[in-house]
């Protein structure tokens, strides 16, 4: 049996969907701005790869309008079922359970987008090549992903730095790359796309909701971090206690991981 192409270390299912809901709210302005910059056009046919609960798929569906179409695919059947249940009045979206590395759609697209997918894969280059194969000439290949090397916290809290380190080592223990952000342009060029462009940002603030994302993420990786003996139950609880306190403290500034957006066009 071949090795899996993904090493997703964050808990999936319903709990994972709730974390993605928080993340989608944080990312909505910058992803919307990205789509305006490209731009996404009315009538485009789009593939949202690793769609999770369908937040980006819904945004794309609204942008392409009734003459366009969006396919959202994800390996987690629970998230796909929840995305379908939340599709609302959007007949121009179709959701499927699929592994992008192994199940390239029969359709072709004007745009493919993957947010927070490549950093969870054991073969991001191969997956990007597979995605590109479903794109028409002139289509856009668009990726957004993390760089966990840049923790942002003021005043400094050792627990926050420990969380960043623990997430990084947990993902790397399964062959994933949580530092992939700066590599995205090179990965795109390796697929043969041209006119590669990049935008970097790092959401941060004092509000509870985005700060609580670090708590949800650490809770999500806890089972694998413990299985890999990267932490102990006592240490994990200490980190979580301090992160929860930071999230509740309006004087503490916390940032999400640095985000790299990169895109290019198929010749």
Query: Residue 197 burial (CB < 10 Å; 0-12/13-18/19+)?
Result: middle
What token pair was written down for 58? 């819904």
Average pLDDT of the chain, as a whole number: 92
Q: Which of 131, 140, 119 is nearest to 258 (CA)?
A: 119
Ordered alpha helix ranges (H), the chain? 13-37, 55-64, 77-85, 124-132, 158-173, 184-190, 208-227, 233-248
> CB neighbours (10 Å) of residue 104?
17
What token pair was written down for 68? 């366009």
4-38, pLDDT tens digit by residue?
445 556 655 556 567 777 888 889 999 999 999 99
Q: What is the mean pLDDT of residues 107-130?
A: 96
Q: How far is CA 80 from CA 47, 118, 141, 170, in A?
A: 14, 19, 22, 25
Residue 204: phi, psi to the nearest 5? -155, 160
Q: How many CA atoms lie within 13 A of 17 on its CB side?
A: 18
pLDDT of residue 1: 27
pLDDT of residue 23: 84
pTM score, two decimals? 0.92
Q: Which residues contact 76 (CB under 8 A, 6 or more apart)?
A: 12, 13, 16, 52, 97
Residue 214: phi, psi to the nearest 5? -65, -35
Contact criterion met (CB below 8 Å) for 212 and 249: no
Query: Residue 196 burial (CB < 10 Å; 0-12/13-18/19+)?
Result: middle
Q: Would you say residue 95 has pLDDT above 60?
A: yes
For Cα atoms 188, 141, 151, give the angle at the middle one, nearest 5 degrees.
65
pLDDT higher for 16 or 138?
138
Q: Which of 136, 138, 140, 89 is nearest to 263 (CA)?
A: 140
Distance CA 52, CA 242 (A): 29
Give 116's pLDDT tier (boundaries 50, 70, 90): very high
């Amino acid at each position: 049996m071949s090795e899996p192409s993904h090493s997703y270390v964050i808990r999936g299912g319903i709990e994972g969907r709730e974390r993605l809901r928080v993340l989608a709210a944080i990312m909505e302005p910058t992803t919307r701005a990205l789509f305006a910059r490209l731009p996404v056009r009315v009538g485009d046919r789009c593939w949202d790869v690793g769609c999770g609960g369908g937040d980006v798929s819904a945004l794309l569906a609204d942008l392409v309008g009734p003459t366009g179409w969006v396919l959202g695919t994800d390996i987690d059947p629970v998230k796909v079922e929840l995305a379908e249940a939340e599709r609302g009045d959007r007949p121009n979206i179709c959701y499927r359970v699929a592994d992008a590395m192994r199940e390239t759609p029969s359709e072709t697209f004007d745009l493919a987008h993957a947010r927070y997918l490549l950093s969870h894969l054991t073969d991001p280059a191969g997956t990007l090549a597979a995605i590109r194969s479903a794109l028409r000439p002139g289509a856009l290949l668009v990726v957004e992903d993390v760089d966990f090397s840049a923790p942002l916290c003021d005043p400094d809290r050792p627990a926050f730095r420990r969380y960043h380190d623990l997430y990084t080592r947990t993902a790397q223990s399964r062959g994933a790359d949580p530092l992939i952000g700066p590599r995205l342009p090179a990965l795109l060029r390796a697929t043969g796309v041209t006119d590669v462009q990049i935008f970097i940002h790092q959401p941060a603030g004092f509000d509870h909701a985005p700060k609580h994302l670090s708590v949800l993420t650490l809770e999500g990786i806890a089972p694998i971090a413990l299985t890999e003996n990267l932490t102990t139950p006592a240490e994990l609880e200490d980190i979580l206690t301090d992160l929860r306190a930071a999230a509740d403290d309006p004087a503490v500034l916390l940032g999400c991981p640095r985000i790299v957006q990169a895109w290019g066009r198929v010749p």
